[in-house]
Amino acid sequence: MTEAALWKGLETKGYGQHTGQHGQFYFHFQQRADWLNKATARMPGVVEHIDSLVEAAVAQDAVLFRQPGLKVVAAPWEYAFIKKVSRITQGTGRQYDASDAVAYLHQFIATSNRGRPVKLPTVQDWGQRYKALCPVEILQQINDLYHRTYGTDGILLASRGARR
């Protein structure tokens, strides 16, 4: 089977494609499992940033799955984090969303922030950029869970600063 025939078959099974600066990417449009699906792509804060989200994900290169001719990468850590925070804030969060947010924040800190906690204004900028709710009270709860998990703060909250 040729690569073109393989991709044609994938398109009939709910896969779509995006052509950008880094080449052609295929995404599976499954409502619950992936970060760039039809529903996500239409969300405010995402639709206007699709190209930069794809480019950031490719640059981040956190590979979730690889097979000849197919590489699936994670959403940018800051995007994944702020969307989890927003979902918790809206009351539509799931039981695992807080721990997911902590894991995404930890990945961002480890790979993009030189191991240092993220400043509150930076997190608020993410919220603004992706039109995601991020109240300080929820960020405090996420930071408390981060501290319990990793023994240090993940977010430098202006009202409290770093823990001693």
How would you write 87-147 as a 3-class SS string? HHHCCCCCCCHHHHHHHHHHHHHHHHCCCCCEEHHHHHHHHHHCCCCCCHHHHHHHHHHHH
C-alpha separations of 110 from 48, 77, 104, 116, 150 in Å: 27, 10, 10, 8, 12
- What type of residue is 101? A
pLDDT of residue 52: 84
CB 103 within 8 A of CB 149: no
pLDDT of residue 136: 97
- Could you give phi then psi for residue 119, rounded to 5 degrees? -75, 145
Q: Would the pLDDT of 111 be above 80?
A: yes
DSSP letter at 152? S
- Whether this prediction's pTM lies above 0.85 is answered by no
Confidence band, pLDDT 50/70/90 cuts, at residue 97: very high
Confidence band, pLDDT 50/70/90 cuts, at residue 127: very high
